[in-house]
Structure 1
Amino acid sequence: MANLSSRFAPVLLVIGCIIFGLGSLIVAHVELGGWAMSFWRLAISGIVFAVLAKVMGQRLPRSRRAIVYSLLSGVFLGLDLALWHESIYAVGPGISTLLNSLQIFFLAAIGFLYFNERQSILQLISLFLAMFGVAMIGSPEFSHNSAATWGFITGIISGAMLAASMTFIRKTHDTEPTPIFMLMQLISIGGVLAMIVPMFLFDQGNVLPNTWSEVGWILIYGTVMQCLAWGLIAYSIPKLSLALTGLLLLTEPIAALVIDYSLLDKPINTLQWSGALLTMLAIYLGSIKSRPTTLRNYRFFARFYKRKDQ
């Protein structure tokens, strides 16, 4: 049975990443503010995880510090999603998702500064390649898109916020191992609370969906993208080699770029495609040599799914 699940793990991981990529299409389609979309995604997923935690009999961690760390992880996840949404509106799902994937380098920096983890020469080379790739993507975008500056700033910062969120997941786990559904419920609560004020401050008039169709898309966004897609990714990661995992995770920005180009008619020229490929190569090189600071954070989720599977 274990061999069978390992055999299908690459397929499940790719499916999860593609579903994540499709989530950016929903964000581009629904006319809500970026902060409001973050609020509703986390609110809906929080309800789902609360029900699952109740059904599975999972309880709050005893450590107050673990609870605080979980809530803080949610705060940074909410900021990550909101800024990623803003980047999608400015430069499209493809480029914004690629910029968000740069979180791997922020994780490496956090590992170096706070966890005394050394960086390899290959990691430094990958960082240089990523910077060069982003420059190749951005140069044509800035020439015809007045919102490009905002899109690149929010996209890159969203990656930093995601790295911070994952770091607090690590700190939560180090303080007291917390069941996955309860952990995700606490993360959702932290994110929802953090989004209330900026949502009404920055998204005035775009807080609520305008049609029942938008309500449906938001429900799909909160359940399928936040719960199902992440569940597939977390379930698959511990069953694969580190190198293969890093490579397959790149299907998320690839899927977003293809969706952006083919379905949303985003103009992406040869220089930008080359820059995207170079950036994804850099992300891959960084991932296979940065186990302590990147994929290990994903594995915090995965361990709980693995226990549940056993």
Structure 2
Amino acid sequence: MTAQAPLTAAPGAPPASVGRMALGAMLLSTTSIFVVLAQVAPTVSAFYRMLFGGVMLLGWVVLTRRWVRVRWRDLTLALLPALGFSLDLIFWHRSILWVGPGVATLLTNFQVFLMALVGWWIYRERLGRWFVPGLAVALGGLWLLVGAHWSLFDARHRLGVWFGLASGVAYTLYLLSFRRALSGHTALSAAQFLGLMSLLSAGLLLAWGGVEGDTFALATARSWSALLALGFFGQVVAWLLMVRAMPLLPASLVGLLLLLQPALAFVLDVLLFKRPTGPGDWLGLALALAGILLGTLRKR
């Protein structure tokens, strides 16, 4: 899953922080691969990501002696981001299985444009001068990746494209509500709040999977190992690395390093799952990534 650059950042770029940020983004790029390798229903993989990740995060908080008593207000504040993240994973994991990890990860990263528009509309934040050109370039790249081949796709592939974009909308809801909760509304640390939210999200996903008739029993060692890795790397290690690095890096550099996630996810999709990829696809990827980067640029 993606992460959002901070609103402010220190002007320097310590090499250790750059390394943590890059490593975190690279670990995030593997999450969509683990979803495929788990070989379970999309809601099931989403449930175990949040369950395993939430337990691991809260365990880390306890071990580091940073636990704060959870109040009913904290649970209430965590409900909306839990709902947003649950919807994000419901859409995104289907998109991963139906259009491939690379394109699905790129599609959900279009949330940076929606976040900027929400900031402009609700918080009266100014759009960057490169926002509109960036959006145009990104849409051009997206057309080369999916629009140019639209008539060749079956109905499920087309729906997977829309689900990938819908996951970006749901992720925006998560980011906004998560940021609001941590802006002086809860005494919990970010790690403890994320762990709590993850477990609430796991409960919502369990309920949704029950409605769908999914089975949550894991029958193979491959499923167990892939889902444990999904929770550990995607929900815990990558997040802990990036949350330490983000405040110490310029926002423009954070945005650039975050693009490692969709870029590497696409490359891994080609290498591991033999995704048919021609020159037009690589050009589309490059344009989409460049447009997303332009869309994140702001005046310091």
Unaligned stretches of 5+ residues in structure 2: 1-12
Q: How many residues align?
A: 285
DSSP-derived class of the 1:263 partner: helix
Indicate whether 1:138 and 2:109 are aligned: no
Match of 1:161 among 144, 158, 170: 170
CA distance in 1, matches of 2:186, 2:224: 37
Match of 1:228 among 233, 237, 241: 237
CA distance in 2, matches of 1:286, 1:95: 19
TM-score by length of 1: 0.85
Q: Name 2:200's counterpart in structure 1.
A: 190
Cα displacement (A) at 1:63: 7.4
CA distance in 1, matches of 2:299, 2:277: 30
Indicate whether 1:47 and 2:47 are aligned: no
Match of 1:150 among 159, 164, 168: 159
CA distance in 1, matches of 2:179, 2:191: 16
8 Å CA contact retained: 1:41, 1:218: yes
CA distance in 1, matches of 2:121, 2:69: 30
Cα displacement (A) at 1:62: 5.3
Q: Which structure features the higher share of helix residues?
A: 1
Query: CA distance change for structure 1 residues 286 and 150 in 2, over 3 Å: closer, same or farther?
Result: same
Match of 1:6 among 11, 14, 26: 14
8 Å CA contact retained: 1:134, 1:275: yes
CA distance in 1, matches of 2:201, 2:214: 19
Cα displacement (A) at 1:61: 5.7
Cα displacement (A) at 1:24: 1.2
Indicate whether 1:107 and 2:115 are aligned: yes
Unaligned stretches of 5+ residues in structure 1: 292-310
Indicate whether 1:29 and 2:42 are aligned: no
8 Å CA contact retained: 1:60, 1:182: no
Cα displacement (A) at 1:60: 4.1
Indicate whether 1:216 and 2:225 are aligned: yes
RMSD between superposed Cα atoms in Å: 2.0
8 Å CA contact retained: 1:42, 1:188: yes
Larger mean Cα displacement after TM superposition, 46-55 or 267-276: 46-55
User: Which structure would you say has the larger RCO, counting Cα contacts within 8 Å and 6 or more residues apart?
Assistant: 2
Match of 1:125 among 127, 133, 145: 133
CA distance in 1, matches of 2:141, 2:212: 31
Q: Name 1:178's counterpart in structure 2.
A: 188
* C-alpha distance after superposition, 1:137-169 (max 9, x if no partner): 113443443132111111111111111101011
Q: Name 1:79's counterpart in structure 2.
A: 87
TM-score by length of 2: 0.88
Q: Which amino acid aligns with 1:224?
A: F
Larger mean Cα displacement after TM superposition, 174-183 or 153-162: 174-183
